[in-house]
A and B are shown apart, each in its own frame.
Chain A
Amino acid sequence: AQSVSQHNHHVILSEAASLELGCNYSYGGTVNLFWYVQYPGQHLQLLLKYFSGDPLVKGIKGFEAEFIKSKFSFNLRKPSVQWSDTAEYFCAVQIKAAGNKLTFGGGTRVLVKP
């Protein structure tokens, strides 16, 4: 069965620092990739998604992610974080052969210190 790994469980950084969250998946075929974010007390919401085409995807709030097929990775980045980026971030993979279900990583809690 496919799996999704997010290597960092907790990240603490200061405002204006750069953020990169790792996401790796285990499946050799075609995938759709997503990053979701859960701000404190709010619904889980979509940050960005990759289906095909340009492997560098831009999402909301200044986030971007790069799909590197050879590395089975879809890392999330933001050049300069703000206190409001404090949240839990989830990577997810969708595979047609698995009934188009989403498989989520374990999540990374990000704390941005003001």
Chain B
Amino acid sequence: DGGITQSPKYLFRKEGQNVTLSCEQNLNHDAMYWYRQDPGQGLRLIYYSQIVNDFQKGDIAEGYSVSREKKESFPLTVTSAQKNPTAFYLCASSRVASQRETQYFGPGTRLLVL
């Protein structure tokens, strides 16, 4: 059963702690993406990776970090530097990072920082 998995579904952390969100895909896609979804603001791109061992900042990368050591995995770390980390985080992938490629989304992780 191919797809994108994100875990956990809900995550609670104390302010000042780093937290890592998991994203795994078994679609054999080269490109992977992280978005943040806030009410009324749609999805905003945090980081994306076109290929293993390579990634680029998106529109709101400050306070976040990523790694892409394996094709199927693209974990996102929300650091203590992120001023407003409470949000819904969506991971996506596409066959390649080029035009006309559909992005497929995971179920998301809702992060609540107390």
Contacts and interface: CB of A to CB of B under 8 A. Distances in A.
Interface residues of B, number: 25
Contacts of A63: none
B99 A104 contact: no
Contacts of A99: 56, 97
B2 to A, nearest CB: 13
A4 B105 CA distance: 20
Given A43-B106, A44-B90, A101-B58, A106 B42 contact: yes
Interface of B: 4, 35, 40-45, 48, 56, 58, 90, 92, 97-108
A18 B43 CA distance: 26
Interface of A: 4, 6, 9, 32, 34, 36, 42-46, 49, 51, 90, 92, 94, 96, 99-107
Contact of B44 (A34, A49, A104): A104
A51 B42 CA distance: 22
19 contacts: A6-B42, A34-B102, A36-B105, A43-B4, A43-B105, A44-B105, A45-B105, A46-B104, A49-B102, A51-B99, A94-B99, A99-B97, A100-B98, A100-B99, A101-B45, A101-B48, A102-B43, A105-B42, A106-B41
Contacts of B90: 44
A46 B39 CA distance: 20
Contacts of A107: 40, 42
A103 B58 CA distance: 10
B43 A90 contact: yes
B45 A96 contact: no
A43 B35 CA distance: 13
Contacts of B106: 43
B99 A90 contact: no
Given A43-B105, A43-B107, A100-B98, 10 more contacts: A34-B102, A36-B105, A43-B108, A46-B102, A94-B99, A99-B97, A101-B48, A104-B43, A106-B41, A107-B40
8 closest residue pairs by CB, A with B: A104-B42, A44-B105, A104-B43, A106-B42, A107-B42, A43-B105, A106-B40, A105-B42
A102 B103 contact: yes
